[in-house]
A and B are shown apart, each in its own frame.
Chain A
Amino acid sequence: MSNETKYWSWHMAAGVVLFFLLGLHMLIMHMGGTMHMFAPHGPDAVSIANSQWRDSRFWFAITYIILLGVGLYHGLYGLRTILFELTLKPALEKAITAVLLLVGIGLFGLGGWAAWAAHVVALAGGKG
């Protein structure tokens, strides 16, 4: 079985997860004024108080990390597909796949660390 089926299957799975998490993101961040979801400190969803309240929740930190992972995978796979349409040489395609994998892992590591650090700081009452 070719790797392409594997990549595509996870691309689809990441798309479904993105659909739900981005829907949740829209509800929380862009409809905060009317929905008041996960914003106990007033209607401004991006205020420091509301952000710290969300960051202090363990499952929110986990959700951020999952969103980052599926977003990166879905986006980088899409970029790879566009680049491969240029009829590149197989060796170059392998190199692109490796570079995108490294970039994805690097960004996921950085973003995951930032999300967890925000969680720890929020738990300490905003005193990092």
Chain B
Amino acid sequence: MAEKKAIKQINFHVTRYNPEKDPKPYIQTYKFEVTDGMTVLEGLHWIKDNLDPTLAWRYSCRMGICGSCGMLINGSPTLACNTQILHLSHSDITVGPLPNFEIIRDLVPDLLSMFNKHASVSPHIIRNEAEIVDRKGEFYQTPEQLEAYLQFTYCIKCGCCMGACPTLATDVRYLGPMPLTALERYNEDSRDEGFAVRKEIASGDGGAFHCHYAGECSRVCPKGVDPGKAIQLLKRKLVLDYLHLAHTKKTCRKLEGPGHGKPLQNTAAPSRTIPE
């Protein structure tokens, strides 16, 4: 395979911070030639391999799946592995840690606060324990029931939405877009019966009503999830519940055996033809 040609000299302005040594974060600039298709993550690797082995960041899959390499790139929270350098700039790139988190070191944010908030919203199916433990049968969902929450399941917990949220910037108690989206994901799930459990935290001090609908969370999400929509749906659900106007959620049944003795509906998506 032919080696890619270096085509541009780029200045990488990287935020550096070692809490044991540095009183506050500072910017360090690295200059090197990038090749076409090189991602910001690859750029950081190049810096570590060739210029500065002390630079620290977090990454794993390198293909936009694990959500480890969320960082602030040219002022916008996004995944370093998903962002090509030359798509952003032909001269200067700024790379910093995700805002609204403590910095562990350099580009490594402390995501513990986010995961603690995530755990607090009971992000799992809540249903009669005996029904779940019973191995017989399976819960049946229609395509429409799946569609109601499917996009929220694409969240990879990268923290980009949390970094972009202007409310979280000042209100540390606010749960933030990711945990509230996870909460709504389970509220929308037809297998779940846990709204009564979750509504206290959803409407509490750090709950959905602190969201101003700036919409930055939805704009920056690298997986196309719409946390802004999830939070608005959650608000609507809470208000309708308060006004006693909420529809009683029809949870899906558990079917025992294939088709519960009856043939299941054909739920396969229609086949597609690719135009020539």
**Interface residues, chain A, CB within 8 Å of chain B?**
1-2, 4-9, 12, 81, 84-87, 90
B200: nearest chain-A partner, CB-CB:
A2
The distance from the CB of B114 to the nearest CB of chain A, in whole angstroms, is 17
Complex-state Cα separation, A86 to B173, whole angstroms = 10
List residues of chain A with CB within 8 A of the CB of B212.
Answer: 81
The distance from the CB of A17 to the nearest CB of chain B, in whole angstroms, is 16
Contact B203 A4 (CB under 8 A): yes
**Chain B 238-254, CB within 8 Å of chain A: the 1/0 string?**
11011100000000000
Q: Give the interface residue-count category, chain B.
A: 20 to 34
B171-229 contacts to A, CB under 8 A, are 171-173, 199-200, 203-205, 207, 209-210, 212
List residues of chain B with CB within 8 A of the CB of A87.
Answer: 170-173
List residues of chain B with CB within 8 A of the CB of A7.
Answer: 209
The distance from the CB of B187 to the nearest CB of chain A, in whole angstroms, is 14
Partner of B239, one of A2, A8, A81: A8
Partner of B170, one of A8, A9, A86: A86
List residues of chain B with CB within 8 A of the CB of A85.
Answer: 167, 170-171, 210
The distance from the CB of B251 to the nearest CB of chain A, in whole angstroms, is 21
Contact A84 B204 (CB under 8 A): no
Contact A8 B171 (CB under 8 A): no
Known: A85-B167, A85-B170, A86-B170. A5 touches B238 (CB 8 A): yes
Complex-state Cα separation, A2 to B209, whole angstroms = 11
Contact B239 A12 (CB under 8 A): yes
B201: nearest chain-A partner, CB-CB:
A2
Complex-state Cα separation, A90 to B235, whole angstroms = 22
B199: nearest chain-A partner, CB-CB:
A1
List residues of chain A with CB within 8 A of the CB of B239.
Answer: 5, 8-9, 12
Complex-state Cα separation, A6 to B238, whole angstroms = 9
Question: In the complex, which of the residues A4, A12, A81, A90 has the most CB atoms of chain B within 10 Å of its own CB atom?
Answer: A4
Contact B242 A6 (CB under 8 A): yes
Known: A84-B210, A85-B210, A87-B170. A9 touches B204 (CB 8 A): no
Complex-state Cα separation, A87 to B205, whole angstroms = 10
Known: A1-B242, A2-B204. A8 touches B235 (CB 8 A): yes
List residues of chain B with CB within 8 A of the CB of A9.
Answer: 239, 242-243
Complex-state Cα separation, A4 to B239, whole angstroms = 10
Contact B203 A2 (CB under 8 A): yes
Contact B171 A5 (CB under 8 A): no
The distance from the CB of A125 to the nearest CB of chain B, in whole angstroms, is 45
Complex-state Cα separation, A87 to B238, whole angstroms = 23
Contact A4 B173 (CB under 8 A): no
The distance from the CB of B204 to the nearest CB of chain A, in whole angstroms, is 5
Contact A8 B167 (CB under 8 A): no
